């Protein structure tokens, strides 16, 4: 039991933390953007630093009593620059999360209406990479590049020619559902040729970069943003690295442009995670994430399932269920959930259904690797996922849009009594019992 005070004083709230703790322990966490932080990161996040206001930056605050948080924030920044060998860069560790970090960069370096190039969300981009309903898509003119329709990989020649045509002010790389290596140097060179700022949102793969498992965007990319809670295994927060010439504008955009007081407890959590990420053990962890992802891909493919772009070179893979039924992703997410495997529905390239009822499921290995699972477990888990896919592969998404929510509800109700779900859930319990979660007693 990790929350004795809540348990004693607020049982109404405690019950949900307790239930969530059990869910995180008893299930296979396979959302590629999730992870389990260390007890040290949890301590920092739950620390008394949450009591402190510190608007401003170290040495230039708008509040008294910042002597200690100044040291925490400076330590965090030093560790961040050292970990990535980011010489000539400045880092801002105050963004509250990834979306505000990206918006702060645009706010700092662009005028409203300026042209930006990115990969759209349905192909693996992000909300803040220009989705029309997101502030990014409303405030700036996004021109989208696509993936090569045959290989489902980035087509650098096509991106370069689009950049020549549109002359954007900023070109964005870094994705949320791309399972292969990104050539950040090529993306930077394309930007420079077009007279654009190069920006990489490395959120998903920052831990792999730190661990030497993915080429780095340093020391050439103009601006690098990242969340800290994915493969980096830190708290829910973000950082912006920028070449010195952009540093003042970015600092001003974060505070006072977009945010007030920074979350110094989260900054302490980032500092703790960065120390861990600099160890040889973290390098091994990053290498194992990739080996596990490849073992999982091999297992799923051996079961006859289709992976977008033919597999995985990083921490994630995208299962395309279109060959069974368009729109099957939503049902599969629910069925996996019932079997205690947590993943998320996702669009696939050339999606033939819709973003809310997509045809894919995104899977990842960072959290399972944190628990110590290796290739043998991934191979086994691949067969379990395939069992679920095959059991439900004929599930039809109604043509009629208004009938879809009820169809999903009805489907979920059938899951508790399904024998394949029960069988897979029992096997999942056998696996999770052998691999404790750090920080969960
Ligand atoms: N929502 C995150 C993800 O799951 O990929 C990206 O910010």
Distance 176 CA to ligand 1 centre (A): 6
Per the structure block, which two tokens stand in for 294? 């490849």
Question: Could you tell me which residues come within 8 angstroms of residue 197 by beta carbon, excluding any fewer than 6 positions away?
Answer: 109, 169, 170, 171, 191, 222, 223, 246
- Residue 341 in this model has a pLDDT that exceeds 70: yes
| Cβ-contact 122, 347 below 8 angstroms | yes
- Alpha-carbon distance of 225 to 265, in angstroms, equals 20
Domains of the chain: 43-277 (3.40.640.10), 280-432 (3.90.1150.10)
Annotated catalytic residue within 79, 169, 230, 425 = 230
* Average of per-residue pLDDT across 250-276: 98
- Alpha-carbon distance of 62 to 243, in angstroms, equals 26
- Alpha-carbon distance of 108 to 89, in angstroms, equals 16
Point out the ligand 1 atom lying closest to the alpha carbon of residue 34. 4
Q: Is 227 a catalytic residue?
A: yes
pLDDT at 1: 58
- Alpha-carbon distance of 152 to 312, in angstroms, equals 12
Angle, to 10 degrees, between the axis of helix 328-338 and the axis of helix 375-392? 120
Point out the ligand 1 atom lying closest to the alpha carbon of residue 99. 7
* 98 Cβ closer than 6 Å to some ligand 1 atom: yes
% of residues, the chain, pLDDT over 70: 100
pLDDT at 440: 86
* 33 Cβ closer than 6 Å to some ligand 1 atom: yes
Fill in the DSSP letter of residue 89. Answer: E
Per the structure block, which two tokens stand in for 62? 């708008």
pLDDT at 149: 95
- Alpha-carbon distance of 268 to 292, in angstroms, equals 30
- Alpha-carbon distance of 429 to 411, in angstroms, equals 23
* 176 Cβ closer than 6 Å to some ligand 1 atom: yes
Fill in the DSSP letter of residue 122. Answer: G
Query: How far is residue 230 CA from its own chain's centroid?
Result: 5
Q: Within 13 Å, how many C-alpha atoms sit on residue 272's CB side?
A: 23
Question: Could you tell me which residues come within 8 angstroms of residue 44 by beta carbon, excluding any fewer than 6 positions away?
Answer: 235, 265, 268, 269, 271, 272
Identify which of 29, 30, 33, 134 to mutate to test ligand 1's pocket (most ligand atoms within 8 A of the CB): 33
pLDDT at 376: 98
Nearest CA to ligand 1 atom 2: 33
Q: Is 201 a catalytic residue?
A: yes
Q: Is 236 a catalytic residue?
A: yes
Annotated catalytic residue within 18, 26, 55, 70 = 55
Distance 66 CA to ligand 1 centre (A): 33
* 126 Cβ closer than 6 Å to some ligand 1 atom: yes
| Cβ-contact 311, 382 below 8 angstroms | no
* Average of per-residue pLDDT across 320-348: 97
* Average of per-residue pLDDT across 99-114: 98
- Residue 13 in this model has a pLDDT that exceeds 80: yes
- The residue written with tokens 């696996």 in the block is 431
Instruction: Note the pLDDT tens digit of each residue in 273-318.
Output: 999 999 999 999 999 999 999 999 999 999 999 999 999 999 999 9
- Alpha-carbon distance of 90 to 70, in angstroms, equals 16
pLDDT at 438: 87
Q: Is 138 a catalytic residue?
A: no
Annotated catalytic residue within 227, 322, 370, 395 = 227
Point out the ligand 1 atom lying closest to the alpha carbon of residue 344. 4
Identify which of 121, 230, 314, 363 to mutate to test ligand 1's pocket (most ligand atoms within 8 A of the CB): 230
| Cβ-contact 128, 268 below 8 angstroms | no
* Average of per-residue pLDDT across 17-38: 97
Question: Could you tell me which residues come within 8 angstroms of residue 51 by beta carbon, excluding any fewer than 6 positions away?
Answer: none
Instruction: Note the pLDDT tens digit of each residue in 130-178.
Output: 999 999 999 999 999 999 999 999 999 999 999 999 999 999 999 999 9
Count of C-beta atoms within a 10 Å radius of residue 65: 11
Nearest CA to ligand 1 atom 3: 33
Distance 228 CA to ligand 1 centre (A): 12
Annotated catalytic residue within 3, 14, 53, 156 = 53
* Average of per-residue pLDDT across 97-117: 98
Nearest CA to ligand 1 atom 6: 176
What's this model's pTM, rounded to 2 decimal places? 0.97
Nearest in space to 383 (alpha carbons), one of 302, 308, 289, 316 = 302
Instruction: Note the pLDDT tens digit of each residue in 72-86.
Output: 999 999 999 999 999
Per the structure block, which two tokens stand in for 268? 């302490």
Query: How far is residue 264 CA from its own chain's centroid?
Result: 22
Instruction: Note the pLDDT tens digit of each residue in 116-141.
Output: 999 999 999 999 999 999 999 999 99
| Cβ-contact 346, 318 below 8 angstroms | yes
Q: In the chain, what is the straight-line distance between the N-terminal and C-terminal CA atoms, in Å?
A: 7
Fill in the DSSP letter of residue 56. Answer: E
Per the structure block, which two tokens stand in for 126? 């992000």
| φ, ψ for residue 328, nearest 5 deg | -70, -20
Question: Could you tell me which residues come within 8 angstroms of residue 8 by beta carbon, excluding any fewer than 6 positions away?
Answer: none
Computed on alpha carbons and rounded to an integer, the radius of gyration of the chain in Å comes to: 22
Q: Is 53 a catalytic residue?
A: yes
| φ, ψ for residue 79, nearest 5 deg | -65, -40
């Amino acid at each position: 039991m990790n929350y004795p005070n809540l348990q004693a004083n607020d049982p109404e709230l405690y019950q949900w933390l307790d239930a969530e703790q059990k869910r995180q322990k008893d299930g296979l966490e396979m959302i590629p953007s999730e992870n389990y932080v260390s007890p040290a990161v949890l301590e920092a996040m739950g620390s008394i630093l949450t009591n402190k206001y510190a608007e401003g930056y170290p040495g230039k605050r708008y509040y008294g009593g910042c002597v200690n948080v100044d040291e925490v924030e400076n330590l965090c920044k030093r560790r961040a620059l050292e970990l990535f060998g980011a010489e000539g860069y400045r880092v801002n560790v105050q963004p509250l999360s990834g979306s505000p970090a990206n918006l702060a960069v645009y706010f700092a370096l662009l005028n409203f209406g300026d042209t930006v190039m990115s990969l759209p969300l349905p192909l693996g981009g992000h909300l803040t990479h220009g989705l029309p309903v997101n502030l990014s898509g409303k405030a700036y003119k996004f021109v989208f590049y696509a993936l090569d329709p045959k290989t489902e990989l980035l087509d650098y020649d096509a991106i370069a020619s689009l950049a020549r045509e549109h002359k954007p002010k900023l070109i964005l790389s870094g994705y949320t559902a791309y399972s292969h290596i990104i050539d950040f140097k090529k993306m930077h060179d394309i930007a420079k040729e077009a007279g654009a700022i190069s920006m990489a949102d490395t959120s998903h793969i920052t831990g792999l970069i730190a661990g030497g498992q993915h080429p780095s965007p340093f020391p050439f990319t103009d601006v690098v943003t990242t969340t800290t809670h994915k493969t980096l295994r830190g708290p829910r927060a973000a950082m912006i690295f920028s070449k010195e010439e952009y540093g003042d504008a970015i600092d001003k955009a974060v505070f006072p442009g977009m945010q007030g007081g920074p979350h110094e407890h989260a900054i302490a959590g980032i500092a703790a995670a960065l120390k861990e990420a600099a160890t040889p053990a973290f390098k091994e962890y990053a290498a194992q994430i990739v080996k596990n992802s490849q073992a999982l891909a091999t297992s799923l493919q051996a079961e006859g399932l289709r992976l977008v772009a033919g597999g995985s070179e990083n921490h994630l893979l995208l299962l395309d269920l279109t060959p069974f039924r368009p729109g099957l992703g939503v049902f599969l997410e629910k069925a996996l959930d019932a079997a205690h495997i947590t993943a998320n529905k996702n669009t696939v390239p050339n999606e033939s259904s819709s973003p809310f009822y997509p045809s894919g499921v995104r899977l990842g290995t960072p959290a399972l690797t944190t628990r110590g699972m290796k290739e043998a477990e991934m191979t086994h888990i691949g067969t379990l996922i395939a069992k679920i896919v095959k059991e439900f592969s004929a599930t039809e998404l109604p043509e009629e849009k208004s009938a879809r929510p009820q169809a999903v509800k009805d489907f979920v109700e059938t899951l508790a009594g399904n024998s394949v779900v029960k069988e897979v859930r029992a096997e999942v319990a056998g696996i999770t019992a052998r691999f404790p979660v750090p920080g969960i007693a």
